[in-house]
Amino acid sequence: MGEMAERAERFRFVDFPAVLDDLRADVLEGLACQPKSIPPKYFYDAAGCRLFEAICAQPEYALCRTERALMDKHLPAIAAATGPVDCVIEPGAGDCAKVRTLIDALHPGQLVALDIAGAALDAAAGTLAGEYSGLSVTALGMDFLHHLEAAAPYLASGRRLVYYPGSSIGNFSPGQAVDLLARFRQLAGADGQLLIGFDLKKDPEQLHRAYNDAAGVTAAFNLNLLARLNRELEADFDLDRFRHYAFYNPPAGRIEMHLVSLAEQTVSVAGQRFPFAIGETLHTENSYKFRGDEFSAIAGRAGWALTGEWALDGFCVQLYGETG
Ligand code: AVI
C-alpha cells in the first residue's frame, strides 16, 4: 500500500454541525442577562486562536511554557503511573501540539482528538497521522460541551485515557467542572484514566500581570470577541468604546475578564438591540486557580480517584483512575 493510502486508512475526520446557531443563541441569551456575559469558548475563531498563541508567548503568561516544562520533566514518571494505554482522547485538541509528547511516551494505538475549530483540527490531526505510522487518528470537529457523548462510537476498545491539559478546566465554574469531568469519566469507561493540567493558586500580583500583559495581547484577545460578533452576527460593537478589564478575585479563586462599556451606548446584534450603561460590564471569562487538594475534591465528586500528581512553578498535572 502507498504511503498516502496507508495514512488515509488510519485517519478520519468527522464534522458535527451547528456552530453558528449555537453562537447566535448563546450570545443573544448572554446579552439579555444581568450582568451580561458570553461563554469563553467563543474566543476561539481563527483570529482568537492566533491571539491565544501570542498570549502563550508573552513573558507575563507562563502557564503554557510551565506546563510544557513540567511534561518534559515528568513524562517518564507519568507514563510509569498510567501503565499501558490503548486510546488517548483529547477534548479541545486544537493544533494537536500538546498531545505529541504524550503519544511519544505512551504509544497508544488510537488518538481521538475533538475540537470546535473543525477545519484547523482536520489539518493538524491529518499531519499528525502522517508522522506516526502506528497510530490511528480520529478527528471529530465538534463543540464537545454539546456533543461529547457522540464521540463514544469512534473509540477503540481497550484502556482509555482522557487528556485535558492547559488549565482549560479553569474556564468552567466548579459545578460545571464536576459535570464535565463526570462526562469524561463516562467516556473513559472501565479502567479509564484522566490526565489533567491546571494552574495553581499563587501571588495575586503575578496572576494579575498574566492577564494584563504589557503588550496588550490579552486585551486584543478579549476585544476580538466583539470583532467576531461584528463579523459573524452582523453586530455593530465599537471596539474603542469597550475596555479590557481583568483582575484576580481572591475569595472566588479566579481571574475574571470583562469588557467594560466606556459610554452609554446601544449595540445591535443579530437584529436585536442591547443597551449598555457607562461602566456596565460584559463578563467574558473566568479562569479558576486551584490548590491540588481543592481540585482533587472536584474530581472526586465526578467519580475520579487521584493516582498521581506532579507540580512545577505554580502549575500542576494530576492523574486519576476510577473510584471503587
Ligand atoms: C485557555 N485558558 C486556560 C486560558 C486561561 O488562562 O484561562 C485562556 C486565557 N484567557 C486569557 N488569557 C488566557
CA–CA gap between residue 188 and residue 322 (Å, rounded) = 9
Nearest CA residue ID for atom 7, ligand 1: 287
Residue 288 in contact with ligand 1 by CB distance below 6 A: no
Return the pLDDT at 57.
97
- Residue 140 CA, ligand 1 centroid: distance in Å: 23
58 CB under 6 A from ligand 1? no
Give, for ligand 1, the residue of 55, 58, 212, 218 to mutate: max count of ligand atoms closer than 8 Å to Cβ: 55
What distance in angstroms lies between residue 267's CA and the mean position of ligand 1's atoms?
A: 26
CA of 83 to the centre of ligand 1 (A): 31
What's the DSSP call for residue 300? Answer: H
* pLDDT at position 20: 55
Residue nearest to atom 9 of ligand 1 (CA): 52
Whether 321 is in the pocket of ligand 1, judged by its Cβ within 6 Å, is no
Under 8 Å between Cβ of 137 and 174 = no
4 versus 228: the higher-pLDDT residue is 228
**57, 215 in Cβ contact below 8 A?**
no
CA distance 153 to 321: 22
pLDDT value of residue 194: 98
Distance, CA of 126 to CA of 130 (rounded, Å): 6
Ligand 1 centroid–CA 208 distance in Å is: 12
Predicted confidence (pLDDT) per residue in 107-148, tens digit: 999 999 999 888 889 999 999 999 999 999 999 999 899 889
Query: Is residue 19 pLDDT above 80, yes or no?
Result: no
Ligand 1 within 6 A of CB of 99: no
Give 1's pLDDT tier (boundaries 50, 70, 90).
Answer: low
pLDDT digit string (tens) for 294-321? Answer: 999 999 999 999 999 999 999 999 999 9
Does 285 contact ligand 1 (Cβ within 6 A)?
yes
Which residue shows C-alpha cell 485535558?
A: 164
Place of cell 498563541: 53
Q: Whose CA is nearest to atom 6 of ligand 1?
A: 287
* Alpha carbon of 173 to ligand 1 centroid (Å): 14
Instruction: Tell me, rounded to whole angstroms, the distance of Cα 132 from its chain centroid.
Output: 24
227-249 confidence digits (pLDDT tens): 999 999 999 999 999 999 999 99
Pocket test for ligand 1, best of 287, 295, 316 (most atoms within 8 A of CB): 287
Which residues are registered as beta bridge partners of 129? none
pLDDT score recorded for residue 18? 61
Best mutation site among 285, 295, 316 for ligand 1, i.e. most ligand atoms within 8 A of its Cβ?
285
pLDDT digits (tens, 9 = 90+) for 167-177: 999 999 999 99
